[in-house]
Structure 1
Amino acid sequence: METNTITVKLYRFLVQLLKHIFLALSKYIPEKALPLIEYLIEEHKVTLKIVGQRQTKHGDFRHLPNGKMQITVNNNLNPHQFLLTLVHEIAHHVTHKKFGRVQPHGKEWKTVFQHLMLPFLQPEIYPLSILPHLANYLKNPKASTDTDVNLSLALRYGMAEEGKSFIFEVPNGRVFKFKNILYKRGNKRRTRYECLNLSNKRTYLFNQNAEVILVE
């Protein structure tokens, strides 16, 4: 009898915990996507942690010292970025459970990611300004959406973060700051810009959707 009571209490606790998680998620993803995300989290026993902004990544999937697996997503992403990042990381989780140790963004992950994202490709979730670029990206998804310039710009609604400019908006020869290093913008190659590092005098290539701070 005591065992049954404990089981019921544990079940109620887990239900309340899931409700809390989903309530928190409703602030970060499009409303119409919430039932689908709830299903994925419950179905795949996802452990999710929403964290502060990180400069080098939007989210990650990792093994914890206790043997559990955890997904983290940055809290500064807009709803459409957050949703795509979350499904990206859930795909890592599912790929690991299904295939074990494989290439992080290899064919197994690509197939799982495409399958998981398919139900979200609807105008009630992603607007028409984003949907065609997202569908094209999913034909052969890469490790980061930032490598797809058109999708990256669409996901940011064509606007850089406040106080920053996209590199393609920076006039040729203008000095800008990126990760606390000063650069001078140079000529455009096919899809990237040559930029001179003013400290070491070396030239680096910047994706045209890189966000930088103009120097007066």
Structure 2
Amino acid sequence: MEDEKKRQIITTLTAGLRDYLNEKQLAFILPYFLNYPMRLKIVHIKISYWGLCRYPRNKGDRYLITLVRTDIPGHFFLVFLHEIAHMLAHLEYGKEISSSHGKEWGTIAQNLVVKSAREGCFPDNELAVIARYVNRPVPLTNARMNEMQQKIMQLYKPETLMVSALPPDAVFTLKNGMKMKFVRKLRKYFECVEVHTGGRYRVNPDAEVVSWEKGSNKN
């Protein structure tokens, strides 16, 4: 890549990401934009995920990483690493990968978290949390990665209530204003119905709840 084009990319990304990442996190992320076919989209409303990596459909397309904005850099950064690991696993293994969150992804994700921690991307209070999840001789799992992200968030928002902590008969309101109730537990998500519209949605277990009340779980 030409030097001038690199400078333009770095300038644009630095301006766009400085509200979400600290300086060391930003420095860690930038090389992936310069050396891999990826682009980034930041959205403001979370329904079922904190991050998503879409693989290229056609030759010449780039990987699209979508992240939900948050004011906690450590949480945003870990979600970013989660999705970069999907890209790297797909690039290395392609269709041979065992599953989307299999051992290949888990090994890459763990290596990214450990490397970034060693490069000073996290403050001491976050490092203490991260160490409990990566100081094991086994790849990260999706569940452990998500739990680590949630623990980082709760360092700064201890009052935060997640969907996974609610009773089955709860009627709850998400940060985006949608009022939901549970339908059933899926493998990774909860299937929920929006009270006012009847629309059904997959809701992430770590989605943040604004308020809730006991109700009926009948549909």
User: TM-score by structure 2 length?
Assistant: 0.66
Where does the alignment leave 5 or more consecutive residues of structure 1 unmatched? 1-6, 184-196, 200-205
Q: CA RMSD in A?
A: 3.8
1:83 counterpart = 2:77 = yes
> Partner residue of 2:128?
132
CA gap 1:151/1:58 in 2 versus in 1, 3 angstroms: closer
Cα deviation, residue 61, structure 1: 0.6
Cα deviation, residue 213, structure 1: 0.9
Deviations 1:178-213 (A, max 9, x none): 562358xxxxxxxxxxxxx9x9xxxxxx97996351
Deviations 1:102-159 (A, max 9, x none): 11111111111111222221595323322222122234423256752x7513323252
1:72 counterpart SS class: strand
> Partner residue of 1:194?
none
Where does the alignment leave 5 or more consecutive residues of structure 2 unmatched? 183-192, 196-203, 215-219
Q: Distance in 1 between matches of 2:25 and 2:86?
A: 19
Q: Distance in 1 between matches of 2:10 and 2:206?
A: 40
Q: Distance in 2 between matches of 1:99 and 1:146?
A: 21
User: TM-score by structure 1 length?
Assistant: 0.66
> Partner residue of 1:177?
172
Q: 1:47 aligns with which of 26, 39, 48?
A: 39
Q: Distance in 2 between matches of 1:211 and 1:145?
A: 21
Q: Distance in 2 between matches of 1:114 and 1:130?
A: 15
Q: Distance in 2 between matches of 1:168 and 1:158?
A: 19
CA gap 1:99/1:155 in 2 versus in 1, 3 angstroms: same
Q: Distance in 1 between matches of 2:119 and 2:10?
A: 27
Q: 2:150 aligns with which of 152, 157, 160?
A: 152
Q: Distance in 1 between matches of 2:165 and 2:94?
A: 44
Q: 1:104 aligns with which of 100, 105, 116?
A: 100
Q: Distance in 1 between matches of 2:164 and 2:6?
A: 49
Q: Which amino acid aligns with 2:142?
A: A
Cα deviation, residue 45, structure 1: 3.5
Relative contact order higher in (CA < 8 Å, ≥ 6 apart): 2
> Partner residue of 2:109?
113
CA gap 1:214/1:41 in 2 versus in 1, 3 angstroms: same
Cα deviation, residue 49, structure 1: 1.6
Range with greater deviation from structure 2 (117-126 or 71-80): 117-126
Q: State percent identity of aligned pairs.
A: 22
> Partner residue of 1:190?
none
Of the two, which has the highest radius of gyration? 1
> Partner residue of 2:64?
70
Q: Which amino acid aligns with 1:42?
A: L
Cα deviation, residue 35, structure 1: 1.3
Q: 1:20 aligns with which of 3, 7, 12?
A: 12
Deviations 1:66-90 (A, max 9, x none): 4422111112352111100111111
Q: Distance in 2 between matches of 1:175 and 1:109?
A: 34
User: 1:159-170 maps to which residues of 2 (within 5 A)?
Assistant: 159=157, 165=161
